Amino acid sequence: MLHYTIRRLIAIIPVLFIVSIIVFMIVHLTPGNPAYLILGEDSSPEAIEQLEQQLGLDKPKVVQYFDWLRNVFVGDLGESIYSEQPVSQIIAERIGPTFSLMIISMLLTLIVAIPTAIFIVWKRNTVLDPIFLSGSLLGTSIPEFWLALLLVFGLGVTVPIFPVAGYVPITDGILGWLHHLLLPGIVLAAVEIGLIARMLRDSMLESVNQDYTKTARGKGVKESTVLIKHVFSNALIPTTTVIGVTIAGLLGGTVIIETIFTIPGIGQLLIDSIHRRDYPVIQGVILFIAFVYVIINLIVDLLYAFLDPRIRYD
């Protein structure tokens, strides 16, 4: 297990290195001169040159990259051009809402998807199964923004149970926090529930007629125990990958949802920064999102080993 963990950790290093190059290139190779955009159309060439010097934009790209990378290593992501605050500080301020939203929607997803999948597999030879399949397809097909608007209209405006926008930190009370995040959480979860329940159902059906379930039934074990204990524990292994990818994908989903519900999270920060051409922040946020992606994948890999002894003891 230790060996496996170390191997996984080492595998991260090249990934992060490549990510850093891509992030740097995305910002620096796209057309448009940041200094020019910051200062505006009427600026003089001298002022632009001066700002370029100040930002280090006149140096060769390779030198710029290594300067930037050196700073990233010590946690210095530069300063925002717009607010002149350190980028790391800006990101830190915006993590809370985004992570809250991710956690809420993930919990909602798992709470609904797991029992649904188990129930459907239990009733696998009934009409419920095709109904479930259409339902999950519908769930994954609904565009997030459309569902968001529908829910805002229904549960925010027509029957005003939930606030239509805004965010309350958890430190100001868990109820207010939950109250503000439930609607966007449901929107994000709707897509994932369909996907994960479907995936779990498929892997459970695959394992429901495996020989080891015969052994379990042959012991006189109840069908519900066979499903929940023997089938589910095996089906969870491939599903974990999908859950991991989903959590990471939520980061992308939050960009839209945070904008609709005006939640001051990472996604909104990214959109705003792109509008402002605040490239140190853009760089920082993309790098941060990539980093979270990598970490989630690492956790999935470790979870894999936890769930599957064949990997753990390899």
Partner 1 sequence: MVLEVKNLKAHIDTPDGVVKAVDGVSFTIEPGETIGIVGESGSGKSVLAHSIMQLNPKPPTFYPQGEIVFEGKKLLQLKEKELQKIRGNEIAMVYQDPMSSLNPVFKIGDQLIEAILTHHHMPKRKARQRAIELLTDVGIPDPEKRFDAYPHQFSGGMRQRVLIAIALACNPKILIADEPTTALDVTIQAQILELMKRIQEKYGTAIIIISHDLGVIAQMAEKVLVMYSGRIVEKGNVEDIFYHTSMPYTWSLLRSLPRIDSETRNRLLSIEGQPPNLVHPPSGCNFHPRCPFATEQCKTMYPQLTKRSGDHYAACILSELEFKEAKKRLENREQEGRQKHV
Residues near partner 1 (CB under 8 A) are 125, 209-212, 214-223, 230, 233-234, 237, 307-310, 313
Residue where the block lists tokens 């990233």 = 72
By beta-carbon proximity to partner 1, the closer residue of 235 and 257 is 235
By beta-carbon proximity to partner 1, the closer residue of 12 and 237 is 237
Distance of CA 13 to the CA centre of its chain: 21
Supply the minimum distance, in Å, between the C-beta of residue 208 and partner 1: 10
By beta-carbon proximity to partner 1, the closer residue of 120 and 188 is 120
By beta-carbon proximity to partner 1, the closer residue of 72 and 204 is 204
Supply the minimum distance, in Å, between the C-beta of residue 288 and partner 1: 35
Residue 244 to residue 92: CA distance in whole angstroms: 23
By beta-carbon proximity to partner 1, the closer residue of 144 and 308 is 308
Supply the minimum distance, in Å, between the C-beta of residue 220 and partner 1: 4
Evaluate whether 257 touches 144 at the Cβ level (below 8 Å). Answer: yes
Residue 110 to residue 189: CA distance in whole angstroms: 9
Supply the minimum distance, in Å, between the C-beta of residue 110 and partner 1: 19
Supply the minimum distance, in Å, between the C-beta of residue 206 and partner 1: 13
Q: 79: which strand partners?
A: 86
Supply the minimum distance, in Å, between the C-beta of residue 311 and partner 1: 10
By beta-carbon proximity to partner 1, the closer residue of 90 and 216 is 216
By beta-carbon proximity to partner 1, the closer residue of 71 and 233 is 233
How does DSSP assign the chain, residue by residue? -HHHHHHHHHHHHHHHHHHHHHHHHHHHHSSS-HHHHHH-TT--HHHHHHHHHHHTTTS-HHHHHHHHHHHHHTT---B-TTT-SBHHHHHHHHHHHHHHHHHHHHHHHHHHHHHHHHHHHHTTTSTHHHHHHHHHHHHHHS-HHHHHHHHIIIIIIIS--S-SS----GGG-HHHHHHHHHHHHHHHHHHHHHHHHHHHHHHHHHHHTSHHHHHHHHTT--HHHIIIIIIHHHHHHHHHHHHHHHHHHHHHHHHHHHHHTT--SHHHHHHHHHHHT-HHHHHHHHHHHHHHHHHHHHHHHHHHHHH-HHHHT-
By beta-carbon proximity to partner 1, the closer residue of 237 and 245 is 237
Supply the minimum distance, in Å, between the C-beta of residue 212 and partner 1: 4
Supply the minimum distance, in Å, between the C-beta of residue 304 and partner 1: 11
